[in-house]
Structure 1
Amino acid sequence: MAKSDPNSILRLIPFAVGGLAGTLLLVNRLLTVSLTPAQARSDVVGIIACAVLILTGLIWQQVQPRLPDSVELVGTETFALDRTLPEALQTELAWASHLLLTNTVTRSLLVWHDGEILLRRGILPEQAVVKHGVILQRVLDKHQPVYLVALAVYPGKIEFDYLPENTQGVICQPMGEKGVLILGANAPRSYTRQDEQWIGAIADKLAYTISQMKIGE
């Protein structure tokens, strides 16, 4: 179920206060038999204050960013790490995935390399096989990330059956020549440009570590 924007009520406060104050000014004016110059000046100030509050409410509606609606992903909390990997690589995979899951909107994460799943972590379904589909192949061929900002509208979403069925956004980040870091979010259009740059840096670090491990074998 989608979560409502927690700031929606705050945006209505200037409207409510401005409208209430304006109504009270009008009632006070109607009930005043004899209007003095001081009262007239205070009415003018009150009207200006009400107008400013209402204008502030309009500006908040236009300027303040609304958080994308998020959902509860369907799946179970998972942490499946390939225990045949060198211990140093296991540690780095665990560290990198923890950073991404706790500091970005990522809720599901897979590290895929040369046809093998090195790590599955986060909210995930039972399906543990990564399909080598069109989108994954495109990432490997072009060595460029693919960000599906709203997965539900893409026909290629069937390729990602190893992610929760209601995943809202996906990033496929190249990780060296043969690897891909796959991230799933619980809200559409939720990754920022800074998030994308950071994800790219972490993927490059993992790719370097994997290449060094292979050299040492």
Structure 2
Amino acid sequence: MEAGSFLRSPISVTHNQPLRRRIESGFPRFVGASIAANSDGRYRGPKPRRDWVADWVSKNDDFVRSLPIYVGGASLLAVLFNRTVSGVAPVADASSSQSRADLLTLGLAVTNILSGLVWLSIRPKSISMISPEGIECQRINPQLPTPVVSELLWIWESISDVTCCRSLVVVYDSSCILQIGFAAKSSDSDGEAVSVDTSTLKQGSLYQGVMKSGAQNYLANLSLYPGRSELPFLPSNTQAVILQPLGDRGIAIIGGDTIRGFTTSDQAWISLIGEKLDATLANYLENFPFAVVDKV
């Protein structure tokens, strides 16, 4: 069997079950656990340890952030109390070892207080799911064979069920063969979804960069990238986008509703889906020309 024949061969899948779940169910999650299991199937190996310190800190975030202020304030009071009861003159004297030690202690106490104030003023921004501002659409090229349409719909259902994906666009051989999920609303009176202009998309830096590198491009926070203007068909408040190449003939654009919402496993899984979709499209559509995408 040739090296690339596996990816190009048709793959039989169950369309009512997402691919990632089937992959995860086919391999043991913990190899060590399967080795350490006895005859009755119960795990006898070492149990995973919980990080009690991390759990306590996460549950007492406000107290931990203000703790340096308490320590610094207590240190200041301790220095003043020690200065009072020790009989040392209240005026600092550089020639006195007690005065030099007190100055160092005061500096450390003030540093603790300032650190606590900084910790309280700087907090991580909470990330939440954002409802897409657009309308739902389902546009599929009417000339696609039935097996390809079934494959595309299954991919959409699988990705949207287990990830933060809310929009999916597939461009193949310079034609948009699928636009499904939420899309930007047209400013025309009809208010329909904005269609994908493939010629403009292919001229953009995002498309050209992905096709040149042949690797997935993950825009974890789309609002920070100037290239977001190249994706006008996505809802204006799309939070994250994955650009997945489909071989050297197309690209899949996946829009999410959460900043950094796609995990590392999601990205790897989407890469596998992209390879499978490329194999399916190349297998079925080699001799079928595309037409302009229409609404179903």
TM-score of the aligned structures, taking structure 1 as reference length: 0.69
**Which structure 1 residue ranges, 5 or more long, are not aligned?**
1-54
Residue matched to 1:128: 195
- By percentage of residues, which structure has more strand? 1
| Stretches (4+) displaced over 6 A | none
Residue matched to 1:191: 262
Q: Alignment identity in percent?
A: 30
Q: 1:58 to 1:135 in 2, by over 3 A?
A: same
| Partners of 1:207 and 1:119 in 2: CA distance | 14
Larger Rg: 2
Residue matched to 2:140: 81
Higher alpha-carbon deviation: 112-121 or 124-133: 124-133
Which of 153, 169, 172 is the matching residue for 1:94? 153
Higher alpha-carbon deviation: 121-130 or 191-200: 121-130
Describe the SS at the equivalent of 1:138.
helix
Residue matched to 1:155: 226
Describe the SS at the equivalent of 1:127.
coil
TM-score of the aligned structures, taking structure 2 as reference length: 0.51
Pairing of 1:1-217 with structure 2 (within 5 A): 58-60=57-59, 68-125=127-184, 126-130=193-197, 131-132=201-202, 133-215=204-286
| Partners of 1:211 and 1:138 in 2: CA distance | 22
Deviations for 1:48-91, whole angstroms, at most 9, x for unmatched residues? xxxxxxx96533366xx997222111111111111111111111
Describe the SS at the equivalent of 1:211.
helix
| Partners of 1:122 and 1:146 in 2: CA distance | 20
Describe the SS at the equivalent of 1:69.
coil
**Which structure 2 residue ranges, 5 or more long, are not aligned?**
1-53, 62-123, 185-192, 289-296
Describe the SS at the equivalent of 1:68.
coil
Deviations for 1:92-111, whole angstroms, at most 9, x for unmatched residues? 11111111111110001111
Describe the SS at the equivalent of 1:96.
helix
* Amino acid of the structure 1 residue aligned with 2:249: K
1:113/1:180 contact within 8 Å kept: yes
